Each structure stands twice: as C-alpha cells, then as structure tokens.
Amino acid sequence: MPISQQNTQYIFFDESGKPEIFSAKGENLVIKGNATKYLVLAAIRSSDQLLLQQQITDFRSRLLKDSTLTNIFSSGYALDAFHAQTDYPQVKWKFYEFIVTLDIKIDVLVIEKLKCY
C-alpha cells in the first residue's frame, strides 16, 4: 500500500553544544570549561517542507527590507541563515515571533552531559 502524502513528515535536525565530554587524553573537557555542560538536540517536523522553505525565504526577504532593521545591517549583511548565537538581537526576536506562526512541531532534548556518560 503506497504511503499517503498526508502522512509524510519531513524532519530537520540540529544540535547545539559540543558533544564531547573527554579529550583524547582522557581529560574531562566539561569540568575544564573546554566543552559545553549541555548538549541540545532539536527536531522540527513539517508535513510540507516546500511550503516551510517558501515561508522562511519570504520572511528573510521581508526582514532585509524591514525599515526598523535596515539601520543595523551593514552593506554586506545577507542573512543567509538564522543563527541564534550570531544574529542581531532584533533579528532573533522577529524570528521567534515568526516561528510560532508556522505549522510545525518542534521537539527538543536537553542533555546534561555529566549526568549521562
């Protein structure tokens, strides 16, 4: 029996944090402050990846034309990707407001590495 398009789910994964706990020499990198205490794994699920891609592309275009943001963008700013660590705070907040409007499901797993190894 063929799989129905209605049941298709597209899943996009990302991680944040360094997965390592120990160095090649056996040193605990977390305790030494050379690796993150947490590892975060996130998955976004969508039933229509093309629509999702179009919505994000349209949002990116609107952001680049947003008169409240253009004064902070440099001439070389392209917004090729959204990245919470490096984006302007104003861009982050607009993205957070945008993402809740999407028809997606987000699953997040936060791992305290020193309790799991």
Q: Phi, psi (5° rounding) for residue 65?
A: -100, 0
Q: Which pTM was predicted?
A: 0.72
| 5 has pLDDT over 70 | no
Q: Which domain holds residue 72?
A: 5-115
Reported as a single tens digit per residue, the pLDDT across 66-116 is 888 888 877 667 677 777 677 788 888 998 999 999 999 999 999 999 998
Q: What is the dihedral of CA 11, 102, 92, 70, to 10 degrees?
A: 120
- How many domains does the chain contain in total? 1
CB 111 within 8 A of CB 39: yes
Q: Residue 6: pLDDT band by 50, 70, 90 thresholds? A: low
Alpha carbon 91 to its chain's center? 13
Give me the pLDDT at residue 64, please: 83
Rounded average pLDDT over 61-67: 87
